[in-house]
Structure 1
């Protein structure tokens, strides 16, 4: 085999370059920058060069968003002979945020495997072999590809940034999770038990009514600007109009960094405009949370854009808009957050397998709804542009 991947849950990756230098100090030349290290043996008769690519959720969020759900699905489908071990493995995968992907020019031998195990111990991770074998930090097998247990005394390990441990488990969270699973079963939508609970109400920090309203108005206005860009309408005229509307409603300070950046770009990036235009679905959740939309229908149809615009444009001031709102109960918002969290997993899992999203869902709608819902519940204190959308 020529591939060996190490996964871990870590607060940062700052010590990994030093660890690589330490493990390969004897007999190897190391060249690398920006998270990729080329390691060349100095011995005459060993030409098996290797490349180690280091990535984290901070440096490569798309990798983790696209691949970790598939990894969870893969091990969820394996018939473990020990169901408790299966739960432990799925828990470990759910908190992975760091990867060291190792590729060698030729098949590696036991000597190289020993070096890889040095990296494993150093990052306190798990090792993934292409045939599906999982190894613990000490090199002992956790589980074989056919589900047989190895001899590792395995326990999940998670950093403080990713921990979803016992303190996050609650009767309330489990009840909410099981109610969502019943909903998924009623629609024949796949799910996995290993996807963690969301925290209970008491551990969350729900956004107040006025903050939600300001976020909604600012977002709608910048979405309109993004749509003008995509329709090739005059950028300067559109920018001026939107800027004036932001001032009129007094919500300029409610723009996110990404939104403000789009407004300031002399020649707006097309993809930036596309990304923000899709947030109509996130805005729709915000006005639902404010009681202006009756219900969130199944995510297979885009929202009513005319109604979405009218909700704000019919008001002459922010105060008039705020006066029309009647916020929903936190319990209702958290129920929707849990539902979209598990719907998102189902969408990503299907995409990884090359299949259409189940039950006709649109993954982009689900993802943007989740962004808004997780922001509303104050998930991990993340700001709008940086809501973690991993599953």
Structure 2
């Protein structure tokens, strides 16, 4: 893999004795809810070279057949994990990544870790042995939903891609956090209607030429799990999202300015008094007198989320996501009312079944878009991957697909 070469050279430079064995340290950060899988997988992957295994304080030690050793120190105590991940997220939040969306998703990933395993092994001049150990640790990471942290504070995914470093580097243009697989094995019964919904969506995908899995995705939400916000809460979210997207557009457009953004925002606020409804991230963006362009672009994309919310309220129809929404239509609609009360009175909240049907459809569309992106392929059937992703985000919030979390913490996993 070669990722460890820098560490090896550094260690060698610090030692004047060529035969001296050094200690190497890697740390696995996992999202599994069953921490025993870490040790079990390590035993399985290193099985062919293990001579014996001994218990040590807070961990296990493998003695290899060449008499060298490797230690695993595992911790899954909730308070400890929370302290560590909070500190780690705060540390990496200062990383100068230009792609703020990847930074936010990386920080979200860090907060989702449930188990930390320190791995210490002896490092000698046998490069083949060193590469074997490192590659095996990556195999363990792959099988246990783990990422690998280096002493240089570089966090890698199990396929060897750099997610985040304090130098501001990343190998990702887009990143989707991995969630505990155990959470996807929810204690919920799949009803005949849920099965029928899946079959119907898959049939739609086949007719449109959209690739899909041959099985029901673990992230598909069942009808009994759906919890929908009130029409008032949806209306407040829609106007808040629109206000921030409008602010971003005023900064990005030709001839735009901060003065224009503030003027347009205040005009909407006089109509709806929605400023107090903004999420923490929205407040931070609006309160920044000099936001970077990338952040503004990301907020401008959120017109698509607003469109979904207005669809849920029965005001508009959602077209097949091959192009962006009609922003003028959304703006005219919202400016046709003078308060949340008027907006809600004119709405017709769609049924849970309608919301779930759309969520399931967009979930599988997004899966196809992610697969195309990962494999450097064109988006299938003319889908606009950006539109699909934004719609997925809003739909996750509408049916509580990520549980009872706030808007800022929604994650459109596939």
Asked whether the two chains share a fold, i.e. TM above 0.5, the reply is: yes
Answer yes or no: is the 8 Å Cα contact 2:248–2:261 preserved in 1.
Answer: no
Answer yes or no: is the 8 Å Cα contact 2:210–2:381 preserved in 1.
Answer: yes
User: Does 1:258 find its partner at 2:284?
Assistant: no
User: Does 1:216 find its partner at 2:238?
Assistant: yes
Aligned partner of 2:144 in structure 1 is 125
> Superposition pairs for residues 105-184 of structure 1, below 5 Å?
109=128, 113=132, 125=144, 163-165=183-185, 167-171=187-191, 172-184=193-205
Aligned-pair CA distance for 1:246: 2.1
Aligned partner of 2:210 in structure 1 is 189
C-alpha separation in 2, matches of 1:114 and 1:301: 48
Aligned partner of 1:356 in structure 2 is 378
Which structure 1 segments of 5+ residues have no match?
A: 36-57, 66-94, 134-157
Aligned partner of 1:367 in structure 2 is 389
Aligned-pair CA distance for 1:2: 4.7
Find the residue that maps to 2:394 and give its secondary structure: helix
2:351 is aligned, of 314, 325, 329, to 329
1:378 is aligned, of 357, 380, 400, to 400
> Superposition pairs for residues 12-27 of structure 1, below 5 Å?
none
C-alpha separation in 2, matches of 1:344 and 1:98: 29
Aligned partner of 2:83 in structure 1 is none
C-alpha separation in 2, matches of 1:228 and 1:336: 31
Q: 1:114-135 deviations in whole A, cap 9, x for unaligned?
A: 687689779982799xxx99xx
Q: 1:261-307 deviations in whole A, cap 9, x for unaligned?
A: 111001122111110110111111111100001x3211002111111
C-alpha separation in 1, matches of 2:311 and 2:125: 56
Find the residue that maps to 1:224 and give its secondary structure: helix
Answer yes or no: is the 8 Å Cα contact 1:279–1:368 preserved in 2.
Answer: yes
Find the residue that maps to 2:220 and give its secondary structure: coil
> Superposition pairs for residues 224-303 of structure 1, below 5 Å?
224-231=246-253, 232-293=255-316, 295-303=317-325
TM-score by length of 1: 0.64
Aligned partner of 2:228 in structure 1 is 206
Aligned-pair CA distance for 1:174: 2.8
Q: CA distance change for structure 1 residues 121 and 296 in 2, over 3 Å: closer, same or farther?
A: closer
C-alpha separation in 2, matches of 1:336 and 1:258: 26
Q: CA distance change for structure 1 residues 120 and 210 in 2, over 3 Å: closer, same or farther?
A: same
C-alpha separation in 2, matches of 1:364 and 1:127: 27
Q: CA distance change for structure 1 residues 162 and 265 in 2, over 3 Å: closer, same or farther?
A: farther
C-alpha separation in 2, matches of 1:97 and 1:182: 37
Answer yes or no: is the 8 Å Cα contact 1:282–1:371 preserved in 2.
Answer: yes
Task: Give the length in aligned residue pairs.
Answer: 304
Answer yes or no: is the 8 Å Cα contact 1:7–1:125 preserved in 2.
Answer: no
Q: 1:16-67 deviations in whole A, cap 9, x for unaligned?
A: 9xx9998799889xxxx969xxxxxxxxxxxxxxxxxxxxxx97736999xx
Q: CA distance change for structure 1 residues 106 and 343 in 2, over 3 Å: closer, same or farther?
A: farther
Aligned partner of 2:155 in structure 1 is none
Find the residue that maps to 1:181 and give its secondary structure: helix
C-alpha separation in 2, matches of 1:206 and 1:287: 14
C-alpha root-mean-square deviation of aligned residues, in Å? 4.6
TM-score by length of 2: 0.61
C-alpha separation in 1, matches of 2:107 and 2:88: 16
Q: 1:170-216 deviations in whole A, cap 9, x for unaligned?
A: 12433322221111011111011342252322222211111001111
C-alpha separation in 1, matches of 2:362 and 2:126: 43
Which structure 2 segments of 5+ residues have no match?
A: 5-25, 39-56, 71-86, 90-101, 148-157, 160-177
C-alpha separation in 1, matches of 2:126 and 2:320: 49
C-alpha separation in 2, matches of 1:60 and 1:267: 19
Aligned partner of 1:61 in structure 2 is 105
